[in-house]
Structure 1
């Protein structure tokens, strides 16, 4: 059996690994357009600020793939797929396959034309280009106040730069958390960088200094980073069912026989049954596991997506799971509580928990700002998978010790507040 994987990112690299774990005899080949094997794109901001080296974020080396008897072909671009004949055409020739896994990821999106010293933030090469620019720069503009934009802004700030962030929406982190929670994060970081909300970028002018023209002003900078999001790379999958991205089922199979897809190029159903574009490395890895095993005869299935997500911005931890409040198909019941990570006498740090659910009290989503947010969100993710209600969660026994945690955690109190709002 021969399996071909297009792309060696989080989804593609993982799919090849799990295809190998499932079938020790299959011929497995990966075609990767770039120069590097699988590496952590989520770690790129920390490479930019110098906390870690670029080589350290390569998760599986060429030698590792070789030892696993996976034929990794770097610098190899796939131009087309003959789905009927089961053949892929690359810039180095054609290859037949028995099963195909499309893991082409996403490509940076810009709402405006880019020119001059304007950079995207998606690859190691992007980071290297920005680092070269930083050596001779003092001011930068980041377009986009999403997760990537804020992490890039923090990295540039650590390098001693003056940073301005321009965001079209009325809040930061618009795809991650609700506006009420985002305002808490904004208060924390306002003294670190300039944040300009409700301002769309009309044009970027190249000159001795770059000029970013927004709906309200013109900002001078030495260079600009575009962090306005990514769009799924579906160019090779035109014969598959494609909406915003390649549509896959619970087995990560596309509409074409023996063709699977995983990662940022795909869309799959969330807990409400709505199709959502996959944009998280954690989901790409889990899809890769499923696609890889199923490509060699497995019967693995993906659960509905929760989109558990987290970040740490200027020392403040932020995490969320489930849909945003505006994405609910009904008016959710909401419990919100501002508490502390420790008993008052231990002078803990503030933590804010927001939990949302349906009229029957089933937990559907949560958002947390403060220390330990990510691990508390993991507990909520488990609760959603288990179908727990506000009442169930509010009665959860939690560990207590003064230097570690309070008697009753803020998460359980938020659920108790929500429970009391049920009719």
Structure 2
């Protein structure tokens, strides 16, 4: 049996390897136009982000290794040009010399996958515009980011891959804007209210998301400089096209094979409409496992399953491929999202009588460290109680929740089949009643009318209008709502009429349900529980001024917005400058931003950032977006490297070093480059051009001061009546001693004012460089930094030492203590020994990967 497999990434290699095990005598050849086969396409964004260090880690098998392991022949650089199903021949083209040849087969397997769609836009071919489909895409993108020092990126497309790329660009310290033409991110994957929640969470993490926005062009001359949308220009150094994929089936146009929108139609045995031609992977249209209707599901997982099943079928097994559920999971900044089955919208379109519930559950025992919550939307058929779909969002193991749902749907389970599932429990992993089962209980309670509730989608659509909101949280948290202490309800509640329309809201939903149960007992006829409660919904009482929650005060502080203590909902937003240096155009933008989004007033901070005063909470995101469009950013708070402050030594008459250049390099490498690195506390850096100490480098966690160290040649001293060196010394450490010039080296501050003052060159420069102070601090508890013993003469060595100090603080510091305290605890001499060695840089990756100082100690 001669088997020709066209395409060799997931489905093709899986089919070839399995078939060779099923039938060792089979003559199997894979042809592929790529130079690589069997690569981890789903891992590409993580190579860009740095989680995957080497390109080789993305390659599951090289052609040579695969051929040796399996016995399958592999030809790379060969592209299928045409298929003749009657003659059982495939015309192929060698891409190296463009020569064609014809290959015959007994059985042909088409597994050509799909390619990224690049919109036909002006500027789409500029350097800096990328797709994400092959290892080469990821390798060239990461190299471009490093070479061009990319600061801002636009990702076109808010699907799984687009959002994964956005997360990994953020890991590189890049400001990211996601643009999507659809009205929501993750369209056709999550229902609108779930997508809206994900969008809010991503925006709170600093990802700018623009939905219902059309991409019109890439702007730039020699390289990408931004994108033109129907809402204006978004500046960017990098543009990633992730707007979709298209099956690589163009060569089949004249083959007579049945296709739908470029996808190959197959039956349950993966057979196409042509005899002895099968297909699998991203290029095929399979079936939805629930509805039995055609569905395109381009996933690496289903491609592998299809390839393996196909091999067994070709090998003679009585197998069939049952179809897909669209199961998927995505890792986002501090958030994981999983889904399987039908969305609510899809289920209704298929004619089901749909019932849903949105439940919030603990993801593990609430008392266990790092316990968080799941927001789970469960979808079922109202008549049969058959489970149709699940969408789950949370910081924890959403894949486990999604997989339980996928198995349940595949087994045609009803909700009643799932309410006593014997699932694994231990505090680090789950709750005693598994969160999946808890959600089943909620949906059954709703179906049985034991719980009457309102979905988040209904609440967002305004269904709560006219309802009296009752806050059932452990502590009052909804301004203007009637607060009810659940534990004290043993009869009618004062202020609530028994026929009032009452919306019960707590933190996650459980207390509201408990109160509803009690109120029903006491004769209340119209109570409704808000599903998802305050955890999922933004709850406001009509006519009551919005008050910012403590959680959001903390969140926006991390974005550079500190609460104005004179108000309940206004903040002062810090605009980062380059050490206080901005252009005239930037100053106009900041002034306009202050007028449009704040009080119109601007203040300078001691760290040379600019504060826009009195920005209402609801104006924070519009303000940040406005500034980002002009290349400006907010920030400068939190337990991390803070913006660098420097004097104007570059232009000052006393300046000994180029402070602007040095501090800007530090800013880029450590404020931006280490923006995602949590430290025990804030880490402040100051650069001074001379010992005048204008920006107090010795009172910062790390300080750098320019140095010019004098050297005395007494043989050249003429014992002048008036010594110009002595006269020029501002701190009077130069003196005539026994008729010769002398400088008290232990007191000299290396200001350089004495240099070139002696006409006979008795005093000349010995070293020109930098002195580094560590462990300084200003504030309630002052500490003066101490200098490292050496004078640094090489700027790159200075940068390495700055990095080693940051790494030392992260490695040796205790959460909540300042760098000065770390130095004092360990001892200056020991700290200096560690910092001046190379050990910290050798273990840098391990240090940065460790889950340390997740809270930090900075309060401002």
If the TM-score is normalised by the length of the shorter chain, which range does it land in? over 0.9
In the alignment, which of 339, 346, 349 is matched to residue 327 of structure 1?
A: 346
Partner deviation per Cα, 1:209-235 (whole Å, 9 max, x = no partner): 523111212111112110011012222
- C-alpha distance in structure 2 between counterparts of 1:342 and 1:211, whole Å: 43
In the alignment, which of 79, 87, 94 is matched to residue 77 of structure 1?
A: 79
Q: Which residue of 1 aligns with 2:798?
A: none
SS in 1 for 2:298: coil
Instruction: With a CA cutoff of 8 Å and minimum separation of 6, indicate the structure with the bigger relative contact order.
Output: 1
- C-alpha distance in structure 1 between counterparts of 2:44 and 2:281, whole Å: 18
Q: Which residue of 2 aligns with 1:366?
A: 390
Q: Which residue of 2 aligns with 1:170?
A: 183
Partner deviation per Cα, 1:159-195 (whole Å, 9 max, x = no partner): 1212111111222222322222222322322133211
SS in 2 for 1:351: strand
- C-alpha distance in structure 2 between counterparts of 1:199 and 1:281, whole Å: 29
CA contact (8 A) 1:3 1:295 kept: no
Q: Which residue of 1 aligns with 2:144?
A: 133
SS in 2 for 1:343: coil
SS in 2 for 1:65: helix
CA contact (8 A) 2:110 2:277 kept: yes
- Aligned-pair distance for 1:398? 3.1
Task: Tell me which moved more, 389-398 or 81-90.
Answer: 389-398
In the alignment, which of 99, 108, 127 is matched to residue 100 of structure 1?
A: 108
Q: Which residue of 2 aligns with 1:303?
A: 322
In the alignment, which of 225, 248, 267 is matched to residue 240 of structure 2?
A: 225
Q: Which residue of 1 aligns with 2:445?
A: 420
CA contact (8 A) 2:44 2:134 kept: yes
CA contact (8 A) 2:391 2:402 kept: yes
Partner deviation per Cα, 1:344-371 (whole Å, 9 max, x = no partner): 3446201111111112001111111111
- Aligned-pair distance for 1:115? 2.4
- C-alpha distance in structure 1 between counterparts of 2:428 and 2:245, whole Å: 42
- Aligned-pair distance for 1:285? 0.4
CA contact (8 A) 1:108 1:230 kept: yes
In the alignment, which of 330, 350, 356 is matched to residue 379 of structure 2?
A: 356
CA contact (8 A) 1:112 1:202 kept: no
CA contact (8 A) 1:319 1:377 kept: yes
- Aligned-pair distance for 1:61? 2.4
Q: Which residue of 1 aligns with 2:209?
A: 195
- C-alpha distance in structure 2 between counterparts of 1:304 and 1:277, whole Å: 10
Q: Which residue of 1 aligns with 2:7?
A: 7
Partner deviation per Cα, 1:393-422 (whole Å, 9 max, x = no partner): 122233333343212122112212222333
Task: Tell me which moved more, 52-61 or 80-89.
Answer: 52-61
CA contact (8 A) 1:205 1:211 kept: yes
SS in 1 for 2:164: helix
SS in 2 for 1:342: coil
Structure 2: any 5+ residue segments left out of the alignment? 95-100, 449-860
- Aligned-pair distance for 1:236? 2.8
- Aligned-pair distance for 1:304? 2.6
The alignment status of 1:57 with 2:74, answered yes or no, reads no
Structural mapping, 1:23-422, within 5 Å: 23-52=23-52, 53-67=54-68, 68-92=70-94, 93-113=101-121, 114-117=124-127, 118-135=129-146, 136=148, 137-190=150-203, 191-208=205-222, 209-238=224-253, 239-244=256-261, 245-270=263-288, 271-328=290-347, 329-330=350-351, 331-346=353-368, 348-358=371-381, 359-370=383-394, 371-422=396-447
Structure 1: any 5+ residue segments left out of the alignment? none
- Aligned-pair distance for 1:298? 3.3
SS in 2 for 1:202: strand
- Aligned-pair distance for 1:139? 1.5
TM-score, normalised with respect to structure 1: 0.96
- C-alpha distance in structure 1 between counterparts of 2:135 and 2:426, whole Å: 43
CA contact (8 A) 2:113 2:248 kept: yes
Partner deviation per Cα, 1:119-172 (whole Å, 9 max, x = no partner): 111111111221222121221111011111111111111112121111112222
SS in 2 for 1:56: helix
- C-alpha distance in structure 1 between counterparts of 2:358 and 2:37, whole Å: 43
CA contact (8 A) 1:237 1:246 kept: no
SS in 2 for 1:91: strand
Count of aligned residue pairs for this structure pair? 423
- C-alpha distance in structure 1 between counterparts of 2:165 and 2:19, whole Å: 35
Structure 1 segments of 4 or more deviating over 4 A? none
Partner deviation per Cα, 1:244-294 (whole Å, 9 max, x = no partner): 310011111101110000000001110212211121110000111122232
- Aligned-pair distance for 1:300? 2.0
- C-alpha distance in structure 2 between counterparts of 1:183 and 1:393, whole Å: 29
- Aligned-pair distance for 1:89? 1.1
Task: Tell me which moved more, 354-363 or 52-61.
Answer: 52-61
Partner deviation per Cα, 1:17-75 (whole Å, 9 max, x = no partner): 11111110010000010010111100001111222221112112223322221000011
CA contact (8 A) 2:154 2:226 kept: no
Task: Tell me which moved more, 363-372 or 340-349.
Answer: 340-349
CA contact (8 A) 1:258 1:295 kept: no
SS in 2 for 1:236: helix
CA contact (8 A) 2:19 2:315 kept: yes
SS in 2 for 1:9: coil
Partner deviation per Cα, 1:367-391 (whole Å, 9 max, x = no partner): 1111111011111111111111112
CA contact (8 A) 1:143 1:226 kept: yes
* Closer/same/farther in 2, CA of residues 236 and 290 from structure 1, 3 Å limit: farther
- C-alpha distance in structure 1 between counterparts of 2:425 and 2:116, whole Å: 45
- C-alpha distance in structure 2 between counterparts of 1:414 and 1:286, whole Å: 29
SS in 2 for 1:421: helix
